[in-house]
Structure 1
C-alpha cells in the first residue's frame, strides 16, 4: 500500500493589544480583564492504493480523501487565572473510492460529511514558572453532523439499478474536562497543547437509507487519552 499524506496546520489570531500576561513571585499569571484568542485550521490530503486478489482474479482499489477543519476561539479572564470562553468548529471530509478487477472498473463510491460545533468553556490556570502554565478546561459542547454515502457505479447493478444513497445525521452533547499547557514565548504569545479528555457524552444518530430508517441513541462516561484528542495551537493574550 502506498500512502501520500500532507498536513497543513495554521493558527489564526486577530487582536488589539491592550493588556498582557503578568508575573508574580517567579510565576506567570493571567490578570482579570485579559482577553485571549486563537484557533486552528487543518487540511489533510490522503491518497491510497491497494492491491489484492479474490479467487485468482487480480483486484486493486484506490481512494482519495480530503479533510478540512477550522476552530476559532475567544476567551476573557473574569478573575485572576479564571477565564470564560467560546469555541466554534466546522469540519468537512470527502472520500472517493474506486475498485477494479483486471483493470476494469467494477465499483465507484463517494462519501461526504460536514459537522458544526459550539463549545462554551471555563478554564482554571495555574502558574508553574515564568513561562509555563497548566490549566483545566471544563467544556459544555454540542455538535451536529451530516454525512452522505453514494454508490456512483456498481457493475452488479447495471441491469437492475439500485443506487441507494445513505444519509446519516448525528447530534452529540459532551460535558467534561481536559488538561492543557501554555508555554509563553513573550507577554502576549503562547504555544498551547491539550491532551485527552474525560466526561459524559450523549449521542443520537439516524440513518435514512430508503426503504428503512435506523435511529440510535447512546451515552457513556469515559476517559480518553488517545492521540486523536491531542491538540496543538497558538494563543494571543491581550
Structure 2
C-alpha cells in the first residue's frame, strides 16, 4: 500500500511540475501565421484600376511573451483606359518585412503588444521600367484577444515610422528622399481616423 501511495504521489508531482512548466512557457515554442490578402477594383468611367495584395506572415514565439516574424509578398496594380483599351499604368512591388513583437498581459485573454518591423519594398514600373526601393522602420502598438487555442484577433496602428526611398528612372540618375512620421492620429476635422489602423486574425499552431 505504501509503495502504491508513493507511486501515486510521484505521478501527481510529475503532472503538477509539467503543468507549471507549460504555464510558465505560455506560447513559447508556438508558430503562428497571418498576413494580408486583398483584391480591389475601381472604375470612374474612363479608366479601370485593379489592385491585388498577397503578403503572408509567419512567426515563432521565442519566449512566452516575445515573438519573431517574417512577411514576404507582392502588391500589384494595373490601370487600363476603358475608352482606348490601353494600359496606362502597371506596377509590381515585392515586400520583405521582418518583425519583433513584445506582449504584456492585461488580464484574461486580452494582451497589449509593441511591435517593431523593418519593411523593405522593391517596386518596378512595368511600362517605364523605373525602379523604386524603400527601407523603413515602423513602430506599432496594438491589442490581441485570444479567441481559442488556435486563433487570435488583433488590431494595431502605426505610431512612428521612418522611411528611406530611392527612385531609379530608366536611363536617368537616381534620387533619394527620407521621411520621418510621428502622427498616429489624423486630426483633420471630419476624419479623426487612427493612422494605419490594421485589424486581422492570427492562427496558432
Establish whether TM, by shorter chain, passes 0.5: yes
Asked if 2 retains the 8 angstrom alpha-carbon contact of 1:145 and 1:171, the reply is: yes
| Aligned counterpart, 2:74 | 90
Deviation above 4 Å: which 4+ runs of structure 1?
Answer: none
CA distance in 1, matches of 2:156, 2:80: 32
CA distance in 1, matches of 2:131, 2:81: 22
> How many residue pairs were aligned?
176
| Aligned counterpart, 1:233 | 200
User: Which of 165, 168, 185 is equivalent to 2:130?
Assistant: 168
Pairs within 5 Å for 1:1-238: 30-49=26-45, 62-97=46-81, 109-149=87-127, 166-208=128-170, 213-225=172-184, 229-238=196-205
SS of corresponding position for 1:185: strand
Change (3 A) 1:37 1:98: closer
Q: Normalization by structure 1: what TM-score?
A: 0.66
Q: Report which of the two has the higher share of strand.
A: 1
Q: Give a deviation string over 1:40-91, Cα, whole Å, max 9, x none.
A: 2100011113xxxxxxxxxxxx111111001111111111211111111211
Q: Give a deviation string over 1:7-58, Cα, whole Å, max 9, x none.
A: xxxxxxxxxxxxxxx889xxxx943212111222100011113xxxxxxxxx
Q: CA deviation at 1:174?
A: 0.8
Q: CA deviation at 1:126?
A: 1.2
SS of corresponding position for 2:138: strand
Runs (5+) with no aligned partner, structure 1: 1-21, 50-61, 100-104, 150-165
Q: Report which of the two has the higher share of helix.
A: 2
SS of corresponding position for 1:128: strand
| Structure with more relative contact order (C-alpha pairs < 8 Å, separation 6 or more) | 1
Asked if 2 retains the 8 angstrom alpha-carbon contact of 1:87 and 1:118, the reply is: yes
CA distance in 1, matches of 2:71, 2:48: 30
CA distance in 1, matches of 2:153, 2:29: 21
Q: CA deviation at 1:228?
A: 6.8
